[in-house]
Structure 1
């Protein structure tokens, strides 16, 4: 059976990025690190690093191989949180480490990788069969930067 692994190409500082990610996402670990022993288009033998890691059980590989294509919004890592405290903790850690806040629960870390820090309940709200409730929650979410569970629930329940 195939294994699916998200592959992230870093120009530099891949190990620093991975160390940061596993420090803030629970149930995360670095599985191993190696260097490519042959010459590559990115450099001489042992200049390209490969780091295998998991974020809450999800497999990733970080490759540090010099500049290629920068990260963009076409790929993001979505972190579903069960509480506002968890959203605040992760969000604040990214900003304190040089990240930039964006709209609708998105942020960009200092390496340029995009993240979505969202409450798990948001998916349930937006997919609600009661489309009026779903619309209200969506409209409130679209006006936020960091997502606020209480405000989303108030909108969803028509109390805002």
Structure 2
């Protein structure tokens, strides 16, 4: 048996933790489904033999999906933030999430079909909104505030003025 990670993110699902984990593993690099554990007995939201927990990794981050049922849902208070290097990578991750039953939100945020929030954040955006010149940072920030998926060319144009 392997030693578990010292700190693991536990995400609550309504019976579909394995489906979510397999989607993440197929979509993001350095991601995998590591183990599926089945309930040894009946529990409030499932029966003996149902997938109870799923150990998975999302871009190197150890996670545990718990099929806990409908009692709790996800909110934007938790999100995965993915730093992308170019528009192609930004589009690829955004489209994978949104086109798989997810939903667009504002300022580079989207939500997957399981309710997990994702920030698909180009490095160019992060650099622009933290520019040491306050006027540059404000222009980039204002441009971002008008977007759903981040458009790097628009951010760079705003940065240039």
User: Does TM, scored on the shorter chain, surpass 0.5?
Assistant: yes
State the match for 1:91 in structure 2: 94
Q: Which residue of 2 aligns with 1:119?
A: 122
Work out whether 1:30 is the aligned partner of 2:30.
no
Flag structure 1 segments of 5+ consecutive residues without an equivalent.
none
| Structure-1 residue corresponding to 2:84 | 81
Give the aligned partner of residue 155 of structure 1: 158
Shift, 1:29, TM fit: 0.9
Q: Distance in 2 between matches of 1:49 and 1:65?
A: 8
| Alignment equivalent of 2:103, drawn from 71, 94, 100 | 100
| 1:35-46 superposed matches below 5 A | 35-46=38-49
Structure 2 residue aligned with 1:143, among 140, 146, 158? Answer: 146
Q: Distance in 2 between matches of 1:76 and 1:56?
A: 13
Q: Between Structure 1 and Structure 2, how many residues are aligned?
A: 157
Q: Is the 8 A contact 2:108 2:149 kept in 1?
A: yes
Name the TM-score, length of structure 2 as normaliser.
Answer: 0.89
Whole-Å separation in 1 of the counterparts to 2:112 and 2:135 = 34
SS in 1 for 2:71: coil
For residue 16 of structure 2, the aligned residue among 13, 21, 24 is: 13
CA distance in 1, matches of 2:106, 2:6: 33
TM-score, normalised via structure 1 length: 0.90
Q: Is the 8 A contact 1:10 1:63 kept in 2?
A: yes
